[in-house]
Each structure stands twice: as C-alpha cells, then as structure tokens.
Amino acid sequence: MFGVESLQLRLGYSFHAENLLRLALTHPSIAHESGVVSEHNQRLEFLGDAVLQLVLTQKLYEKFPAFDEGLLTKARAKLVNASSLAVHARALDLGTHLILSRGEETSGGRGRASALADAFESLLGAIFLDGGFDAAREFVMREFAADFSTLPDSSGIENPKGELQELLQSRSACAPEYKTISATGPDHDRVFECIVQHEGVELARGRGKSKKAAESDAALAALIKLQTETGIKTGS
C-alpha cells in the first residue's frame, strides 16, 4: 500500500488493522484540500500524547526516586518536546509515509518537525488502539531507551548543596548563594521558593516546605542543569 511491511519492521510492531496505521499517517491537510469531511490523524495524536505522557511519567517516577514533581516534569518535557519527537519520527522514516495534500507536499510538509512529531504521537495512539497498552508501552520503551540513558541521574545525591558547592568551587573561588524569593500559603502549610546564584548568575530555582528544603531543591536542579549542559557527573 505504501511500504507498510518495511515500516512495520522498523516499528517493531505489526498492525492487526492496517487502516489504523494509514489513519495515523494521514495529515489534516487532506481534509482541507478535498473540501469534504475526511478522517485524519489529529484524534489519534490526542490519544497518543496521553499514552506517551503516562508511559514516560511512570518510567521517570521509577528511575528517579529523588526527583520531586518539578524535576520529574522537567525531565518529561525534555523527552516529549516537538523537536525530540520529530527526531524519533525521522529515525522511523515516517516522513516518507505521510499522506499529504498536494499543497502540503510542495511546501515541504514531509520534513516539517511539527508534522513529524504529530505523526509519531498518532502512530502511538494507533498502536494503543490496535494492540493495547502493553504494546504501546513496549514501543515507547524501545524508542526512548537511549534518551533515558542520557538523562541526568541524581538518585545518588544525598547532599545537593554540598555537592554543588564542591563542583562550583573546583572552578571558582566563589561559593553559590541562595536567596528566598517568595513564601506562599498559610502558616501551617507554607511553600518557599528560592534561587541559587553563582557569581551573580542564576543557576536554578527550587521549592519546598521550608527554606532549607527549597535551597536543597534549587541545588539539585542546578546540579542537573550543569550535568546536562557540561556532561559533568554528580553524585559520585
């Protein structure tokens, strides 16, 4: 039909209902061009996004027991942003198989990051409908295995403030500075937010039920940021 066998080999999944695969690859421009009601992949994209969020959230929760909600959210966002999903779509050569309108084709739609990211999520939604949650989860785990290996692992960091100070003072005589910028909520349930700075530059922000917890959270976020940007390992 459109190289369906070779595509399914790359996916590592064979569809029982190939019409779902076709629908996942049908760009919305088809409906606009035809001028009639025509099915396209936006509903599947909506479903696939939810499945992807759930699978990755569970994996991050298990992999990073020291991460609070904020850090887990940041890690997930790094995995599911449009650029990341487009990379996965290109690796699967989804662009070649997209079903586009003539106008979308001539304007470079096959290589457009947004179209590829949407197609990846639509494809996941189709796998979920065709094979169930376990099949969808296996697909996500295969696709994101390498991505998880590049995420910073702070689970071994027991003293974020101490490790951050040690890391920064190995490169500068200046120690990190912490500043509380807000305290919200009633007295019995206060939430503090603070920033950590180094040489006048803000490194990260943190939140916690006490100033100490907020500072620790900010230090951990700074360590993760530095590890991600420079490749410096922490928690060793």
pLDDT in tens, 62-77: 887 767 777 788 788 8
The CATH number of whichever domain residue 217 belongs to comes to 3.30.160.20
Q: Give residue-wise pLDDT tens across range 14-44.
A: 999 999 999 999 998 887 665 665 789 999 9
> Do residues 86 and 28 share a domain?
yes
Rounded distance between C-alpha atoms, residue 236 and residue 234, angstroms: 6
The CATH number of whichever domain residue 67 belongs to comes to 1.10.1520.10
121 catalytic residue (yes or no): yes
List the alpha helices (DSSP H) in 35-93.
42-63, 69-80, 82-91
Instruction: Render 78-145 in DSSP notation, one character per residue.
Output: HHHSHHHHHHHHHHTTHHHH-B--HHHHHTTGGG-HHHHHHHHHHHHHHHHHHH-HHHHHHHHHHHHH
Does residue 165 have a pLDDT over 80?
A: yes
Structurally, the chain folds into a number of domains equal to: 2
CB 141 within 8 A of CB 55: yes
CB atoms within 10 A of CB 38: 12
CB 95 within 8 A of CB 110: yes
> Do residues 95 and 116 share a domain?
yes
Q: Looking at 115, 150, 185, which one is the last position of a domain?
A: 150
Tokens of 73: 């959210």
For residue 221, what are the domain limits? 160-230
Q: 156 φ, ψ to 5°?
A: -95, 5
> Do residues 69 and 107 share a domain?
yes
CB 185 within 8 A of CB 191: yes
Q: Looking at 150, 172, 187, which one is the last position of a domain?
A: 150
Per-residue pLDDT, averaged over 128-139, amounts to 97
Q: List b or e across 171-208, with b for residues whose CB sees 16 or more CB atoms inside 10 angstroms.
A: eeeeebebeeeeeeeeeeeeebbbbbbbeeeebbbbbb
> Do residues 10 and 72 share a domain?
yes
Report the percentage of the chain scoring pLDDT > 90.
Answer: 45
Query: How confident is the model at residue 37, as a pLDDT?
Result: 59
Tokens of 227: 């590890």
| Catalytic residue chosen out of the listed positions 45, 104, 118, 121 | 121
Angle at 78 between CA 76 and CA 79, to 5 degrees: 65
CB atoms within 10 A of CB 89: 23
> Do residues 145 and 28 share a domain?
yes
Find the range with the poorest average confidence among 113-122, 142-151, 190-199: 142-151
